[in-house]
Chain A
Amino acid sequence: MAAYAFATVGNILALTGDVDMFQTEQTFSGGVFHHSIPNGRAGADIIVTPVELLARTQGDGSKLFSLKLSECQLELGGASGRMVFCRNTDSSLTIFCEERGFPAALSSASFGALDDRFRELRSLQRSQNSRQWFWVSISLLLIAVVCAGLYFGTLAAAQVAVRSLPISVDEKIGQMASVSMAPGIPLAEQHSATVLVRDIVEHLRPYSAIPDMDFRVVVIQDEQVNAFALPGGRIYVYTGLIRHAENAEQVAGVLAHEMAHATLRHGLQKVSQSLGIVVAMQFMVGDVGGLIAFGSQVAQESVLTSYSRAAETEADLEGARMLHTAGIDPAAMGEFFEIMKHEHEELPAILSWISTHPQHDDRISEIRRFRDSLPAAQYRPLQLSLDDAKRDIGQQ
């Protein structure tokens, strides 16, 4: 055995760095195909010697098979792609093994005689693999395209469906949201602040896109500078917003923007988008229980009060149009944004409206551009004062 070791030193070094040179016989676990074995196959311990491959089947009736290395016809394959098959000349006996050290052991035992064949098989496998991966990538791409198509298809269909739904659907969603969101303590209906906001909304109502929408005003005793509209026309205004406004026109600017969200049905669109995602996920994943739970959670928190940038711009422009036709200068809207921007540094925590309505400079300039494009009009100041409301808020 020592003689073999010396004779193969050069080859071993050339092939792998970690073959134990003093162990010329190595044992691996693999298997044998041969007709003499019941069922034609069995697992086997494989011994690689410099002359032959020996395979001893395991268990009862253990048999020993021998295959001369000089006769060995190599193949590479199997489920892993690493299975090495050695067949005799008439293919009646096959010894196979996928252990990592097996190819190196075969190579060194055969003094490198099998190396060329190994190289050939590996390069064949590589080219097959890359071809395979090419097709796999193409298929995955196709699947992705189909999924994306379905996703955007559902979204578009949802948008169309939303427009055909009656306003009562918006009202129902708004009613559910008002219960689940429980925004805080409302001021009394007769409170001067509630009366003021209601007067402004009623002033704007005839000029909104849906004048018979069920606009309802709730003023919340809260120092946050915040206002939002729920689907169906419920409008919430926080006392902090009234306190920071300089005049009724600025409040009207915010209210016009929020009323526009309701008449443009942004809330319903948002819900339908989430539903579109659910439907698409259902198609792709098959199970959406967790996603629905997550989605309903989100719906309670912010889905209905924070909109996309496009929706915000849309609400700005529709709000500006409403103000303009109501005889109020749309510039008031921009003014209020300016105030909020300037106070942002001092009162970051309470400026909730900013968190859902960012990008002030863009929005202010957008409103200004829109205002300039409108036909010249004689704007009249609102005959409403914030003084009573501000005083009564302070006393609470």
Chain B
Amino acid sequence: MKTEIRNRPAFANLLVEMQPGDRFVAEAGAMASMSSGVTLSTRWNGGFLNAVLRRIFAGETLFMNEYLAETAGHVVLTQPLPGDMIEMPLRGNTMYLQPGAFIAAEPGIQLGVSWAGIKSLISGEGLFRLKVSGQGRVWFGAYGAIFSREIQGELIVDSGHLVAYEPTVGIRPGLAGGIFSSFFGGEGVVIRVSGQGRIYMQSRSFNGLAAWVNSHL
């Protein structure tokens, strides 16, 4: 299965070129176009309960679309917000994705919801996160550009900008400055990322967009 992320970084979309027998799963609603030789079936990914949990807590759609190529063909996947996409290979390791970031995965990947905790909630990253693990490639997207950083020690990331991180890094909330400047200076809560491992960040934040839209309503 050959893939290409096109129109990076602003309007990234994923072109999947499939040979007969190739299959993958994608977020329902991500498909922009597909060849007639590709069949699409909708299923609960990882069972009903897991699907419902993912819907409620990780912001993912209730169903996953499974694409199977009966003859050679292609599928184009997009994401709702303008931004970049990234391909991440997993070799038996695990990655946590922020709600809504997931786009597609190869069949060897398991998807699940994991409890992220109160600290994550306060960091502005939600109580739950999507856990992807296994063997294969995962594609996820972000709002704006995506950049990754290999953590050794500690890094401060603005709340709402963290898209994905490995289980080997710890995240905890912190204040950008003192209490006063944090609450009234606009930066507010930040995330202190520490440990060893890779994180992915987005250049824009959804909270920022929401605030901008609100101020123009």
CB <8 Å contact, A42 and B179 = no
**Stretch among B10-18, B29-37, B169-177 lining the A interface:** B169-177
CB <8 Å contact, A132 and B170 = no
CB <8 Å contact, B172 and A57 = no
> Considering the chains assembled together, what is the distance between the CA atoms of A77 and B150 in angstroms?
16
CB <8 Å contact, A79 and B96 = yes
For the complex, is A118 an interface residue (Cβ under 8 Å from B)? no
CB <8 Å contact, A85 and B119 = no
CB <8 Å contact, A37 and B91 = yes
Annotate B149-160 by CB proximity to A: 1 below 8 A, 0 otherwise: 010000000000
CB <8 Å contact, B91 and A43 = yes
For the complex, is B135 an interface residue (Cβ under 8 Å from A)? yes
Q: Given A78-B168, A85-B168, A136-B118, are A33 and B196 neighbors across the interface (CB < 8 Å)?
A: yes
For the complex, is B75 an interface residue (Cβ under 8 Å from A)? no
CB <8 Å contact, B91 and A41 = yes
CB <8 Å contact, B92 and A79 = no
CB <8 Å contact, A136 and B168 = no
For the complex, is B205 an interface residue (Cβ under 8 Å from A)? no
CB <8 Å contact, A31 and B135 = no
Chain B's interface size range is: 20 to 34
Annotate A77-108 by CB proximity to B: 1 below 8 A, 0 otherwise: 11111010100000000101010000000000
Q: Given A77-B195, A132-B119, are A38 and B170 neighbors across the interface (CB < 8 Å)?
A: no
> Considering the chains assembled together, what is the distance between the CA atoms of A74 and B171 in angstroms?
19
Within 8 Å by CB of B183, from A43, A59, A80, A142, lies: A142
Q: Given A78-B169, A79-B171, are A139 and B91 neighbors across the interface (CB < 8 Å)?
A: no
CB <8 Å contact, A42 and B91 = yes
For the complex, is B133 an interface residue (Cβ under 8 Å from A)? yes
Q: Which among A41, A42, A85 has the highest number of chain B CB atoms within 10 Å? A: A41
Residues 19 to 53 of chain A near chain B (Cβ within 8 Å) = 31, 33, 37-44
> Considering the chains assembled together, what is the distance between the CA atoms of A59 and B128 in angstroms?
29
A320 CB, nearest partner CB in chain B, Å: 49
Q: Given A39-B91, A59-B135, A132-B119, are A79 and B194 neighbors across the interface (CB < 8 Å)?
A: no
Chain A's interface size range is: 20 to 34
Q: For residue A75, which residues in chain B have a CB less than 8 angstroms away from its CB?
A: 195
CB <8 Å contact, A38 and B89 = yes
Residues 48 to 82 of chain A near chain B (Cβ within 8 Å) = 57-59, 75, 77-81
> Considering the chains assembled together, what is the distance between the CA atoms of A41 and B167 in angstroms?
12
Q: Given A59-B135, A79-B171, are A43 and B196 neighbors across the interface (CB < 8 Å)?
A: no
Total inter-chain residue pairs, C-beta < 8 Å: 84
Residues 168 to 193 of chain B near chain A (Cβ within 8 Å) = 168-175, 179, 183, 189
CB <8 Å contact, B194 and A59 = no
- A81's closest neighbor in chain B, by CB? B170
Residues 82 to 131 of chain B near chain A (Cβ within 8 Å) = 89-94, 96, 116, 118-119, 122
CB <8 Å contact, B122 and A58 = no
> Considering the chains assembled together, what is the distance between the CA atoms of A327 and B165 in angstroms?
80
A214 CB, nearest partner CB in chain B, Å: 38
A133 CB, nearest partner CB in chain B, Å: 9
A65 CB, nearest partner CB in chain B, Å: 13
A137 CB, nearest partner CB in chain B, Å: 11
CB <8 Å contact, A43 and B89 = no
Within 8 Å by CB of B179, from A31, A39, A59, A142, lies: A142
CB <8 Å contact, A43 and B94 = yes
CB <8 Å contact, A43 and B133 = yes
Within 8 Å by CB of B172, from A132, A138, A142, lies: A132
- A128's closest neighbor in chain B, by CB? B172
- B189's closest neighbor in chain A, by CB? A139
Q: For residue B89, which residues in chain A have a CB less than 8 angstroms away from its CB?
A: 38-39
Q: Given A38-B91, A59-B135, A79-B171, are A139 and B196 neighbors across the interface (CB < 8 Å)?
A: no
CB <8 Å contact, A80 and B91 = no
- B152's closest neighbor in chain A, by CB? A91
CB <8 Å contact, A57 and B92 = yes
B209 CB, nearest partner CB in chain A, Å: 14
- A80's closest neighbor in chain B, by CB? B167
> Considering the chains assembled together, what is the distance between the CA atoms of A83 and B170 in angstroms?
9
B87 CB, nearest partner CB in chain A, Å: 11
Starting from the known contacts A31-B92, A79-B170, A132-B119, 19 additional A-B residue pairs (CB-CB under 8 Å) come to: A31-B168, A37-B91, A41-B91, A42-B91, A43-B90, A43-B93, A58-B91, A59-B91, A59-B135, A75-B195, A77-B169, A79-B116, A83-B168, A83-B195, A136-B122, A136-B173, A139-B122, A139-B173, A139-B189
For the complex of A and B, list the 9 residue pairs with the smallest distance between their C-beta atoms, beginning with the closest: A43-B92, A58-B92, A42-B91, A43-B93, A77-B195, A59-B135, A77-B170, A31-B93, A79-B167
27 contacting pairs across A/B (C-beta < 8 A):
A31-B93, A31-B168, A33-B196, A41-B91, A41-B197, A42-B91, A44-B92, A57-B92, A58-B135, A59-B135, A77-B168, A77-B170, A78-B167, A78-B168, A78-B195, A79-B169, A80-B167, A83-B167, A83-B168, A85-B196, A132-B172, A135-B173, A135-B175, A139-B175, A139-B189, A140-B122, A142-B179
